[in-house]
């Protein structure tokens, strides 16, 4: 005894206005906090990247947040580059070469 009721679940939770064609997509501040790392490292799909940039245009708080994160990330990268002297770097490259040769044979 099972009754199918077509149309009743035509709109699943999660398939809301965001996924509908022609609807305005947007992200909110909470989304931005979650994706900011991917945004800064350019590891998100271009469509979502564009949504983040749109949000930054209208939201000063997130603009400041992303600016702060960008500066922090840049500082960390600069520190990491300085903390790795040339000798240590070539040691790592040698080690990688040896590893790569070992895998090839
Ligand atoms: Zn925001």
CATH code where residue 81 lies = 1.10.10
Going from the Cα of 53 to the center of ligand 1, the distance in angstroms, rounded, reads 10
Measure Cα distances from 23 to 16, 17, 18, 20, 28 in Å.
10, 6, 7, 6, 16
% of the chain with per-residue pLDDT over 70: 75
Band (pLDDT 50/70/90 cuts) for residue 5 is low
Distance 77 CA to ligand 1 centre (A): 26
Mean pLDDT of 24-46: 87
pLDDT of residue 46: 92
What's the start-to-end Cα distance of the chain, in Å?
64
Distance (angstroms) between ligand 1 centre and the Cα of 103 equals 48
Q: Which residues surround ligand 1, an ion (CB under 5 A)?
A: 29, 59, 62
DSSP 21-74: TTSPP---HHHHHHHHHHHHTT-S-HHHHHHHHHHHHH-HHHHHHHHHHHHHHH
**Total number of domains in the chain:** 1
Maximum separation of any 2 CA atoms in the chain, in Å: 76
Query: Is there a domain that residue 4 lies in?
Result: no
Q: Is residue 2 domain-resident?
A: no
> For residue range 75-104, what is the model confidence (pLDDT) as tens digits?
888 888 787 777 777 888 888 889 888 886
Residue 59 domain flag: yes
Q: Is residue 75 part of a domain?
A: yes
Which structural domain, as residue segments, surrounds residue 66? Answer: 25-104
pTM: 0.51
Domain assignment of residue 12, yes or no: no
- Domain membership flag for residue 85: yes
CA of 76 relative to ligand 1 center, distance in Å: 24
């Amino acid at each position: 005894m099972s009754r199918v009721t077509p149309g009743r679940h035509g709109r699943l939770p999660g398939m809301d206005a965001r996924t509908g064609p022609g609807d305005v997509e947007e992200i909110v501040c909470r989304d931005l906090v979650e994706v900011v790392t991917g945004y800064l490292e350019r590891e998100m799909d271009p469509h979502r990247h564009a949504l983040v940039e749109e949000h930054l245009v209208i939201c000063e708080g997130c603009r400041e947040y992303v600016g702060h994160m960008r500066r922090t990330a840049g500082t960390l990268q600069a520190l990491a580059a300085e903390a790795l002297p040339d000798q240590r770097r070539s040691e790592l490259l040698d080690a990688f070469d040896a590893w790569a040769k070992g895998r090839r044979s």
